[in-house]
Amino acid sequence: MKKELTRQQHLDLYYYMRLNRAVEDMMVKLFRQNKIVGGLYSSLGQEAISVGTAYALEKKDWLAPMIRNIGALLVKGVPPRDIFMQHMAKYDSPTKGKDGTSHFGDLDNLHIVSPISMLGDLIPVMTGVAMAGRYLGQKIVAMTWIGDGGSSTGVFHEGLNFAAAQKAPFVLILENNLWAYSTPVRKQVPLENLADRAKAYGIQSYIVDGNDVVAVYSTAKEAVERARAGEGPVLIEAKTFRRMGHAQHDPAEYVPKEMRAYWEARDPISRYEKFLSSEKLLDAKVKKELEEKINALLAADREFAENSPMPPPELAETGVYCTGDDCHKIRAKWERPVAEVTPPRSSVKAVWTLPGFGSGKGSGGANAPIHFGDTQPAAREAGNKTNSANGGKPAAKTAPKKTVKPGAAGASRKARR
């Protein structure tokens, strides 16, 4: 690991990873007490990816998390109580109890787009967010995540191609955790490195150890800066392992014990603690202070969440569809003169003839006509040129072919028998 961050930044990464794991441990307890009404998904062993990538963003940037990116929400500023209440479907939750999983966002303040259950669909959505920010002159970067299984969906490729064609300031984190539910990655993708998929769209890609939070952060920071500078989208493949099942109901018995043991020994938090201690960035006193801070925060937020009421029945028919300003007010935030993107300054001269398309050179050096569809050549050169083998005389015309009526060929064959 490279020591490129300040001491406080190192401790921030450590704090958010520890908070990420503690929040999920708390939710497992709530789930087993039947206080969580929806599905519960674990990012155990993948905390370094969510934390390291989100930490590379600026406050004005946008992100859209997936089910294993609670760490990114915490870095962005979502309090644990909101995550607890959301999964408990409480009235004070971000969705007022309308949802019992991670489907919530914050468009006004934190710039978080709600997760979409259809895997891959966030890629074109966040490409659009990135393009909108560029149009408004905000100089933002948009980021989302996808798993190894989700990278095989059609919308993954369509969205990434769209981002590449538009040179959108967009960063995609591909979390290769080796399992798409119960399907191992080697059974679904004939590639050693999923980052190679970026080559098809002419964009840059990185491969990083997803269990090394500093490496993840450094890679993501470089990708974000390149995207912000106008170099187009970037794909980062973070190699890691999903240490729990797909969700709480999945015991993941299909995972070989040897594989699980190998990755447990590469736990990102334990590895980072050793690094921080060796660099004298973390000692027993600081570690204890961070643990006490996390424990106090989660105790207070859990109590708040459990005391939050369930939504009243009359709320069920409200908020199903956005009805405009009475729902929420979202206005374009211009950071550039509107005149730059409106006529006449935005006008582009129409060009009907593209260079290199519709004209060309033949092997003899002369202009070679290009024909489309069923159009005929302008002239048959064979009939106009002299035949050098015939003493310079014009080439003999080819006799026209006779038209054979249907059935005539068959009749002649019969006659020869």
Among residues 242, 243, 271, 302, the one annotated as catalytic is 242
CA-to-CA separations, 216 to 52, 146, 271, 352, 361, in angstroms, rounded = 5, 15, 13, 46, 51
- Residues 6+ positions from 190 with CB-CB distance below 8 Å: none
Among residues 135, 181, 254, 262, the one annotated as catalytic is 254
Distance CA 219, CA 371 (A): 49
Whether 242 is catalytic is yes
Whether 16 is catalytic is no
The length of the chain in residues reads 417
Distance CA 272, CA 283 (A): 13
Among residues 7, 103, 226, 246, the one annotated as catalytic is 246
Residue 63 · residue 21 · CB < 8 Å? no
Residue 379 · residue 367 · CB < 8 Å? no
Whether 254 is catalytic is yes
Distance CA 210, CA 238 (A): 5
Catalogue the active-site residues. Answer: 242, 246, 254
